[in-house]
Structure 1
Amino acid sequence: MILTILLIAFAIIVFIQFIYYIFIFGKFSFGKQTEANPKNLPISIIVCAKNEAENIKKYFSHLLTQNYPDYEIVLIDDASSDDTLELFEAYEKQYSNVKLVKVQNNEAFWSNKKWALTLGIKAAKNEYLVFTDADCYPTSNDWLLQISTQFSKEKTIVLGYGAYEKVKNSFLNKLIRFETLLSATQYFSWAKIGRPYMGVGRNLAYKRDEFFKVRGFQDHMKIRSGDDDLFVNQAATKDNTAILYTPQSFTLSEPKTTFKSWFYQKRRHTTTAKHYKLFDKFQLGLFFFSQFWFLILALVLLAFQFEWILVLTLIVVRYLFAWTSLGYAAAKLNEKDVMYWFPFIEIVLVFTFVNVYFRNLFSKPVHWK
């Protein structure tokens, strides 16, 4: 009797997964990029940095060489203790389109990136803002050109893809990139459905009006993280949000090189998600719930060899539609190689996030630097 109930529950879980992978994620996986012509919109690139001198030396040139006629670069130094400020000052003197914003430590907003970004947004001379991080860089000189194609009178928020560099013979690198692929598939898909819920600050753009409509970061200023996803969760709608995933529009970041550092990063990101809108927390929770119980129930039913032919059939069918959906998404985001490891990576990822959840119950990670 108990095993029969578990089998029914397993079939329901597989059905939930089918809905997600085919009907929800399929909106992105099997859809097409909305094509539009480039627009000559004055753009301000905003980069907030705290103790990022080494990364700035490596990546700043990628921002200077954009194939775009009208843009400025707003560099925000958030009270750095290394050579970041000195580098920014030198760039401001050297390049006419570079503007420096110096942020002093403020007792009310101590080490708060949102406060620093707010000052940078107010200092920008242009209405269209493009955000990236000091430790990443655009994959092409047409990055701004690509972003400009998605802005229109209606579309004032553009969600881009922030990828990670590939490292040969590294399982951790594949794990990081698969998690990034899955996350992007989720937020791109929900945006296409009309329920945008997050974006990544490594590659995000919006019109300044959208920032002030929601009073900037004021409603979540005390939450140290979420300058990207909490803002999008609050400001994005089905009418004002576009997605962009052409290869020329990607940004790249150096991935974490140890499991410990990546795990801590995931702990920080997970604490932010609990502040999403109720529906967004529900759909994310239901998807993870279905992932976890798919694995657990499959193992239990196979261990008892209960209706094992039916169970195996459901397992195979589930992996076929999941692999197909994510495979198409991976091809669009240049992450096809991670899909060869899909079943194993998924298992590791699911149980990593279980660990993240329980660790965060008993201690809170520190945000920003």
Structure 2
Amino acid sequence: MSERPIRVVQWTSGIVGTSAVRAVLDDPRLELVGLYTHSADKRGLDAGTLAGRDPVGVAATDDVDAVLSTRPDCIVYMPHWPDIGELERILGSGVNVVTTARLVNGEYYPDDAGSRLAAAARAGGATLVGTGMNPMHVPTVALAATAMCRHVSRISITESMDCFGYGNTATWTGYGFGGPPDSADIKAKLLAAEPDYAETVSAMARAIGKEIDDVGLTVECAVALADRDLGFIRIAEGTVAGVDATWTGSRAGAPVAELRTTWTLGSVLGHRQDPEWRLAFGYLVEITGDPNVKLTMSFAPADYETFDIGTTTAMPAVNAIPAVVAAPAGVLTPLDLPLVTARRR
């Protein structure tokens, strides 16, 4: 692969997808050969134009056969939700996949998705890796920190931030924002929308030598104290303006791995909610072991006005492409790859 650029197809071009397109175009190791889109209004448009760049001669298409005919080495798969049948087809055709689409290994998806994906990868001699900021980049960093411990009994990660900058309406309404403060209903929505969180706590537990036998989810919500219009979503007074969800993987009733997301929309702009949550604006890692370890992670753009909000989700996938292409066939996680790093500009 060192003698030629890695041929890459970008699958979808939303907030994260267009960030990935820019990253692929900027990486001399990679060559963009295709762009798949679900949107009728994007069909035929140049990938460079869609990503805010000069045209690059790659037109967006919704024709899967046309995409696969470009003979890509890797597809960067970033739809809003994964289509397991679609992934089976891609892997079965021999194309590697790195994805941020709410998927780690398919283990907690319905209809035996994990086994189906593994079988397709074996049949095509291809590799599937699920990643993204959280899951799976932050858990990978957290697990690397356990190397300083004699033993670990529990690992906990909290993502705590206001998500106003990520203006994806479907994501936030799908999580219950702007709707009634029904924690049971929001829990059901999260269980359906985020099997990757259960997959992540399971992978975290395995990495420290434990197989979990249960994944629990607890949900609390906060309500807006006044109407707010954020442009991409309207949140009325008394409706959900914050969601605090904790996924806990346990063994024999004892917590082993925990992934918590504390999200608000608009509190960073001064909008108030009840209850008010003190946000970390980043990630908190707590490792219980010998010794105990605590980490705090955050990203600080040089210029918030021009910051590409898709970067932190897209780059763990784009930076992993060479390692994914070089990896053995199968369904892997970032924990199975060599250390993935950014490149010097």
Q: With the length of structure 2 as denominator, give the TM-score of the two structures.
A: 0.29
Q: With the length of structure 1 as denominator, give the TM-score of the two structures.
A: 0.28
Larger strand proportion of the pair: 2
Please identify the structure whose Cα radius of gyration is greater: 1
Larger helix proportion of the pair: 1
